[in-house]
A = this chain, B = another copy of it.
Amino acid sequence: MKEIESLWGEVRELSLGISGAVERLDSPPTPLQFLRGFVSPNKPCLISNATLHWTALSSWSDDSYLTRALSSAHVSVHLTPDGKADALVPEDSSSSSSLCFASAHVLRMPFPEALKLIVNSDSGKYVAYAQQQNDCFRSEYSALAPDCDAHIPWATEAFGCLPEAVNLWIGNHRSETSFHKDHYENLYAVVSGEKHFLLLPPTDVHRMYIRDYPAARYSYSQDTGDLTLEPEKPSRHVPWCSVNPCPSPEDKHSEMSKFPLYFNGPRPFECTVKAGEILYLPSMWFHHVRQSPDAGGRTIAINYWYDMQFDVKYAYFNFLQAVHYRSIHPKLLETAAGESDLNTD
């Protein structure tokens, strides 16, 4: 449907820019600048010198500081064979099998043990990633609260409310998050190491080939140390983005032919968020995240989720999806031909 492809181009020409670069600010914006220039137009930005006053920036690169501060904390760690939690993987080990949506095995353990698992993931049968997204920074990790801000002041003033959830993420070079979107405004602050984002605006939803996949979960055997993938029971389906933006060289050709709208359309916005920087990741934007670790082998970040406004942009997003759905189900078009006075205009 060529109107949809025109929309991808127009939102870039009008507002987001056609370079594929995320706009960079040298210092935090005022609440008004942030609201006017980025939140209202649903446009990302990358803010330098955003957290200069956080002691976390120096202290968290030191393992012994973290293990001391969190010596009595129990935290949740996500185990997967390859660092990819909440991702599409073959239902069984044969590569030709159909895909399922695989969740990690979640283990709770003392923080010092969790940090060791994450940093030494290369040597084991699994990759560990602390990525519990349940406001964990204000619960499991509350001992670290003094080291950074409880909220982002200029964002809080712009949104008119405190964050709904604050999450801590500790990963390593293998941790990866597949393309998805959140119904939150997101301020993503990197504390140590680097995060690499690929971003697509909500207008580009059809380039993600969102389809329903059967849900499965990794199960960890303490005896063997093995992770096995098991279908969820009762079974359920999860709508998820089909596109892997970084296929292996041998898969690249087939991925490109399966998902031409992604690979042939406008390139995703790309940005690397370094320690001390904050990415504003607008609500409903699709994002894929990889990371580069610091000298200690970890990437640490905090993200602040603020409630989004469900306004005319959200209504238009639903309209875009409904129109496309009808365009690929032409029978709907025929039966609807006489139903609406709109056809008379």
Contact = CB atoms under 8 A, between A and B. Distances in A.
Interface of A: 1-7, 10-11, 14-15, 31-33, 35-36, 39-43, 157-160, 201, 203, 206, 209, 260-261, 264, 309-316, 318-320, 322-324, 326-328, 333, 336, 339-345
A206 to B, nearest CB: 6
Given A10-B318, A32-B35, A319-B7, A312 B41 contact: yes
Contacts of A14: 310-312, 314-315
Give the most central of A2, A15, A311, A314: most B CB within 10 Å.
Answer: A311
A326 to B, nearest CB: 6
B32 A315 contact: no
9 contacts: A1-B340, A6-B322, A10-B318, A32-B158, A35-B36, A36-B158, A209-B345, A261-B345, A327-B342
A159 to B, nearest CB: 7
Contact of A3 (B33, B311, B319, B345): B319
Given A313-B312, A318-B10, A336 B2 contact: yes
Contact of A313 (B33, B313, B342): B313
A22 to B, nearest CB: 16
A345 B36 contact: no
Contacts of A326: 3
Q: How many monomers of this protein are in the complex?
A: 2
B320 A345 contact: no
Given A10-B315, A206-B342, 10 more contacts: A2-B336, A2-B340, A11-B312, A15-B312, A15-B315, A39-B40, A41-B312, A42-B311, A260-B344, A316-B316
Given A36-B158, A324-B342, A312 B203 contact: yes
A33 B328 CA distance: 41
Contact of A311 (B41, B320, B336, B340): B41
A7 B316 contact: yes
Given A324-B342, A343-B327, A43 B7 contact: no
Contacts of A159: 36
Contact of A203 (B15, B32, B201, B315): B315
A341 B260 contact: yes
Nearest to A339: B2
A15 B345 contact: no
A41 B312 CA distance: 6
B160 A32 contact: yes
B203 A1 contact: no
Contacts of A309: 15, 36, 40-41
Contacts of A31: 32
Contacts of A6: 318-319, 322
B342 A157 contact: no
Nearest to A282: B312
Contact of A320 (B160, B206, B316, B336): B316
Contacts of A203: 312, 315-316
Contacts of A209: 345
